[in-house]
Amino acid sequence: MTSKITAKPATIETTLNEAGRLAALQEMRRDPRVWVLGEDVARGGLWGQYKGFLEEFGPERVVSTPISESTIMGAGLGAALVGTRPIIEMRIFDFVMCAMDELVNQIAKIRYMFGGQARPAVVVRMPHGMWRNSAAQHSQMLESWFVHLPGVIVVAPSSVEDEAGLLVSAIRSDDPVLFFDPKDLWPATGTMTAGEIAPIPFGRARTLREGRDLTIVTWSAIVPKVIEAGVTLAQSGVDAEILDLRTLWPWDEAAVLASVRKTKRLLVVHEAVEVGGFGAEIVARVIDQLGPANILVAKRLGAPRLPIPFSPALENQIRVTTDKIVAAAKAAVMG
C-alpha cells in the first residue's frame, strides 16, 4: 500500500476587490486580446479594481472612456466582433440602464440573430446592490431581468475565491457574461489559492452549510447575512442547509433539488425586490420538479417592492436583515 502526502495548496488572505483585480490581471497577462474599457479605468477604476493596469498594459488596453454608456457597451461588442475580448466596466450597475439597447438588443441577440456568425465574447462588469445610503439610482439589484434575457450568462459571486475564479471563467468565455460584482462586499476578506487562479465553472452552487431542516438558496451581497442567520438558527435548533448559487444563469437546479429532496423545505433569500425576483423562478421550478406533495414549504424572502431610500433610518427598514432571514427560516420550519 502506498501512501500519498498531499501538500495543502498555499493560500492567500485578501479582499474580494483584490481577488477580482488579480483575476483580471492574470487574464490580461495571459491573453493580449483581453482589454478593459470604462469610465476611470486607467486610474484604477472607481473601486480600485484595475489598480496598476495602465502602468502594465498601457492606454490602448486600459481605456478610460467618456461617460458614454451606450458606446462603452456597443464599442465593446464591436471590438469583440473583430476578435478582441473586452471587459466592459459599467462602474455601477445602475448605469447599465443607459446602455440597454447595446446590451439587450445587440450583445444578447447578435449570435442568434445572425445565425451563429457572431461570437460576442465580452464580460460586462456591473457592481450592484445596496451600498451605504446611495439611494435609488446607485443601489439597485435587478439581476432577475437579465436571467430573463436569452443569450447571456449571469454571474453573481459573493466570496473572494468565487470573485476570482468566476471572473477568470467569464473572461475566457465565448458567451457574453454579465458579472455582478457585489459592491458592498468589495472590502470583505477571505482566502483564495495562491498563484494561478483556476476558472470556476458556471452553473454550480456552493454548499456553505449542510443541514437537515431547511434549504436556504441565496447569492451575492446578502450571503454573509445568510451565513450569520444559519449560525443563529442552529442555536435555536434549526439546522439549515445553505446554498450560494454563484451563477444565476445557468443555475444549479440539480443541487437545489437534491437539497430540497432532503430537507423538504425551501427558502430563497435575495436582496432584490421579492416580487418578480429570481426567487420566484426557483420556487416554481422546485415545486414543478419535485411535486407539491414532496415539499412542505417553498418561500421567498426579498425586499419590499420599493425603490431604495437614502436615509439610514429608511434604508434599514427595507433591507433584508439577518433577523428577517432568521424569522423567515423559523416560520418555514416551525410554521
Partner 1 sequence: MAKSARPKPTGKPEPATPAATGGHNLARLHDLYRTMVRIRAFEEAALDAHKAGDIPGPLHVSIGQEGVAAGVCVNLSREDRITSNHRGHGHALAKGAGADRMFLELFGREGGYCGGKGGSMHIADFSVGMLGANGVVSGGIPIAVGAAQGLKLLRSKAIAVCFFGDGATNRGPFLEGLNWAALYNLPVLFVCEDNGVAAFTATQTVTAGPGVMARAASLGVPGLSIDGNDVLAVDAATADLLAAIRAGGGPRILHAKTYRWTGHTSTDAAAWRDPQDVAAGKANCPIARLAAVLAERGAKDLTAIAAAATTEMASHRAAAKAAPWPQPSTAFDDVQDVGAVRFS
Please give the positions annotated as active site. 138
Compute the distance between CA of residue 271 and CA of residue 322 in angstroms, rounded to an integer.
Answer: 11
Kindly tell me which residue out of 9, 150, 292, 335 binds partner 1, with binding defined by CB under 8 A.
150
Task: Please tell me whether residue 66 binds partner 1 under the rule CB under 8 A.
Answer: yes
Task: Please tell me whether residue 31 binds partner 1 under the rule CB under 8 A.
Answer: no
Q: What is the DSSP letter of 128?
A: B
Decide whether 34 or 208 has the Cβ nearer to partner 1: 34
Compute the distance between CA of residue 284 and CA of residue 237 in angstroms, rounded to an integer.
Answer: 28
Task: Please tell me whether residue 260 binds partner 1 under the rule CB under 8 A.
Answer: no
Q: What is the DSSP letter of 325?
A: H
Q: Which x/- pattern over 111-140 shows residues binding partner 1 (rule: CB under 8 A)?
A: xxxxxxxx----------------------
Decide whether 78 or 309 has the Cβ nearer to partner 1: 78
Compute the distance between CA of residue 307 and CA of residue 17 in angstroms, rounded to an integer.
Answer: 26
Task: Please tell me whether residue 105 binds partner 1 under the rule CB under 8 A.
Answer: yes
Compute the distance between CA of residue 193 and CA of residue 211 in angstroms, rounded to an integer.
Answer: 27
Task: Please tell me whether residue 335 binds partner 1 under the rule CB under 8 A.
Answer: no
Q: Please state at what angle helix 223-235 crosses helix 322-334, rounded to 10 degrees.
A: 50
Q: Ramachandran region of residue 309, left (φ > 0), alpha (ψ -120 to 50) or beta?
A: beta
Task: Please tell me whether residue 249 binds partner 1 under the rule CB under 8 A.
Answer: yes
What string of DSSP letters covers 270-319? EEEESTT-HHHHHHHHHHHHH-GGG-SEEEEEEE-SSPPPSSHHHHHHHS
Task: Please tell me whether residue 48 binds partner 1 under the rule CB under 8 A.
Answer: no
Decide whether 6 or 288 has the Cβ nearer to partner 1: 288
Task: Please tell me whether residue 79 binds partner 1 under the rule CB under 8 A.
Answer: yes
Kindly tell me which residue out of 11, 31, 68, 191 binds partner 1, with binding defined by CB under 8 A.
68
Kindly tell me which residue out of 31, 56, 174, 210 binds partner 1, with binding defined by CB under 8 A.
174
Decide whether 34 or 297 has the Cβ nearer to partner 1: 34
Sheet with 265-273, edge to edge strand ranges: 206-209, 240-244, 214-218, 265-273, 297-303
Task: Please tell me whether residue 42 binds partner 1 under the rule CB under 8 A.
Answer: no
Under the rule (CB under 8 A), what is the footprint of partner 1? 33, 35, 60-61, 63, 65-66, 68, 70-71, 73-84, 86, 101-102, 105-106, 110-118, 150-153, 173-176, 202-203, 249-250
